Structure 1
Amino acid sequence: MTYSIKNIDHLGLVSGMCKEIGIAKIIDQAHPKQSKDKKVTYGQLVEAMI
């Protein structure tokens, strides 16, 4: 059995803050028109880019 460690630096903090302030929900409310065939919302896309 081998173990590995991955350093994510500050990314966990950034992700947690995005979720806490609800940036995806804010963006989705500002731009609600999306294709029905998309599985990812615009808010989720922006959150991933941040």
Structure 2
Amino acid sequence: MNKIFHNALMKKMDRRSSLVSEDATTRYLIFLEKFPNLVDRTPLSYIASYLGIT
């Protein structure tokens, strides 16, 4: 249980730190690498919200 919590916390911290330290283009390219199939099935407004882009 502790290991699952630790992994989830680390993923959340990595995601938040990228929102602050990287520009929108870089965040979008990383999103494409991590989730290549979601771009075709998800509205861009949802993806922009997830990435913190207006």
Normalised to the residue count of structure 2, the TM-score between the two structures is 0.34
Kindly name which structure, 1 or 2, has the bigger radius of gyration based on alpha carbons.
Answer: 1
